Chain A
């Protein structure tokens, strides 16, 4: 079996079982649940202001450069799924309080919400948060509960496991076909890893 055959087999395996053999009624029912899930995914916990704030912070952490950034990877939707279905009440509350605190800090410093601030002002707010996390780490304190530590983790995880992150930034190959334990690395560039 060569690589093309492998891909053909995989293609078949991936597509056949999903909707094959369903009656029109069943297909419609399946469609409704799928759409309901998709709708639910958009906003289960985050309101539009919170969602946009998360998307904006995420894009500042991993911006669009020569590859798409966190917003294109819909990191804010991933964050919403975890807040709704994975976090416990305490962690969810802590995250949302931290998110609100970003606006509080921004109003204190610049008189506007984070979303109303300029790019430079937003960057200054994040730099302050990032410095707090670094200080905790330097003092050997666990920074896990700090909002920005968690936000950075969520952004990285959400981005690098997204289709955009894996295919365009990491240039992931689902089926490498061979293994070479010692090849020359391309210079820093997408997928140079």
Chain B
């Protein structure tokens, strides 16, 4: 490659949810942009497998048990790492990390163009000032340097481009967006929604999930056809991922250079200029080191990968990692808790079924600690879930065989409704990552050691989820109500965030209000690493909005010659 081709206006590390947005915005605003992706390229017409039926995969969807145990013992904990989509998850042997004894952390990763945007959960919820003010109010973490008013126009901008379906509710704790028509609730969900409204008024509301799936054609992409398995790809481009939405927009400008198989080792820091001047890369296939130069650098490699790159970027000025004068780099790791809830049987509707496979469920916006304060825990949680009828699968645990048994399985079981909670995690400096000097990945790059565990606050909220979920099901008249609390390790919710937080004070935070490193003005980080608190909403839309906002700021600052 010629020297000229190694110098760009901007370098973006990562091509997923955040990297795709950085690429689009920086290219559209006139910068020649290099996107470095650690993994392989994705060709939708070959790699998307959502319509491959079970009988065409070798283990009928059970997965290659031996290969999973050997190569993906951690990744296989994610529901989407199945016989179709397992190829979108990393090989755990090539991508090691370590944890502290007794503190498991499931780090679920996707290394390919599109990153985890290919198999993400697609749920999209705005944050509100209840979230942005939380740290300042109760003293955990530092204050966010932004408020809802700062990000609201960027939520509008991002949502309009990617297309979000959902229902407006007018709730202050969960701001509405400009939505495409909502997907339908099913019979049992409508029944729960109506009865819940009768019992709790507007305080506890069942709505359809707000999701990045099109319910009508939008900006050249087709409406959802309800095959139901978005995490395997979508040949009609009906859900958002960066492969078929943001990266094509970046490519259309003619300013995008996308380089797959490029594992970023570290950021190059020029001591004399006090600037980041480029990145060191290991070619994933040849394992040869390379360098690329850029005037501005966006880290969008995922929360822990971006932090890992910074921790591995050591220099005389920054011996513990680039932009770490605060000592906060690596600290305040968060994930959402998940798995407190309840299920129950909804009477009736026996002559009714769903037609089509809706890749979305219900949502119950946060109601705890919105107006009053619960005595046992801070912050809040929300429920996802939904209702459905059991099918042939129940036959394995029933007596009988023969024609009557086979035909009885044609009648679906009763409607069962589940509330499944997702809870906020407090930012704590004792949950942190550091380089593990003993462990390197397949490219010789030092791996992370992760120290993370839930605190009592998270556990108490998880318990409360099961209590209030059961309470709601009893209140609406469900039968056979079973509360549950699943014990999931941090990481498995795949909302890991923090470790390079935004803040007002360079002494206590890594990034400023524009996702710009306090210490290095031409270095930005806009993925989950930047998060100052976790809220309880699925975070991806906030990463997208922060990325678009930061990119606009960076380009304006370059024009003013501040960078």
CB of A176 within 8 A of CB of B353, answer no
Q: Is B186 an interface residue (CB 8 A)?
A: yes
Please choose the segment from B156-164, B320-328, B402-410 that sits at the chain A interface, where 4 or more of its residues have CB less than 8 A away.
B402-410
Please choose the segment from B71-79, B111-119, B220-228, B334-342 that sits at the chain A interface, where 4 or more of its residues have CB less than 8 A away.
B220-228
Q: Which of B55, B58, B65, B222 has the most CB of A within 10 A?
A: B55
Contacts A63-B402, A193-B412 given; indicate if A176 touches B235 (C-beta within 8 A): no
Cα-based distance from A9 to B395 in the complex (angstroms): 36
Q: Which of B48, B358, B407 has the most CB of A within 10 A?
A: B407
Closest to A164 in B: B55
Cα-based distance from A61 to B395 in the complex (angstroms): 11
Collect the chain A residues with CB atoms within 8 Å of residue B356's CB. 176-180
Partner of A86, one of B65, B183, B392: B65
CB of A174 within 8 A of CB of B51, answer yes
Collect the chain A residues with CB atoms within 8 Å of residue B46's CB. 13, 17
Contacts A78-B60, A160-B392, A166-B55 given; indicate if A183 touches B353 (C-beta within 8 A): yes
Render A1-42 as a binary contact track against B, CB cut-off 8 A, 1 for contact.
101001001101110110000000000000000000000000
Contacts A179-B356, A182-B190 given; indicate if A1 touches B226 (C-beta within 8 A): no
CB distance from B400 to the nearest CB of A (A): 7
Q: Which of A65, A69, A190 has the most CB of B within 10 A?
A: A65
CB distance from A46 to the nearest CB of B (A): 17
Q: Is A48 an interface residue (CB 8 A)?
A: no
Contacts A16-B45, A65-B407, A193-B410 given; indicate if A182 touches B227 (C-beta within 8 A): no
CB of A134 within 8 A of CB of B353, answer no
Residues of B227-269 whose CB lies within 8 A of A: 227, 235-236
Q: Which of A63, A69, A133, A193 has the most CB of B within 10 A?
A: A193
Q: How many residues of A contact B (CB 8 A)?
A: 59
Collect the chain A residues with CB atoms within 8 Å of residue B410's CB. 188-190, 192-193
CB distance from A41 to the nearest CB of B (A): 9
Collect the chain A residues with CB atoms within 8 Å of residue B236's CB. 1, 6, 9
Render B406-447 as a binary contact track against A, CB cut-off 8 A, 1 for contact.
110011100000000000000000000000000000000000
Cα-based distance from A120 to B184 in the complex (angstroms): 49
Closest to B357 in A: A176
**Could you write out 26 A-B pairs with CB less than 8 Å apart?**
A1-B236, A6-B222, A6-B236, A10-B235, A13-B45, A60-B401, A61-B402, A82-B62, A85-B64, A86-B62, A123-B402, A134-B399, A152-B395, A161-B61, A166-B54, A169-B406, A178-B226, A178-B356, A179-B355, A179-B356, A181-B187, A181-B190, A182-B352, A182-B354, A184-B352, A185-B352
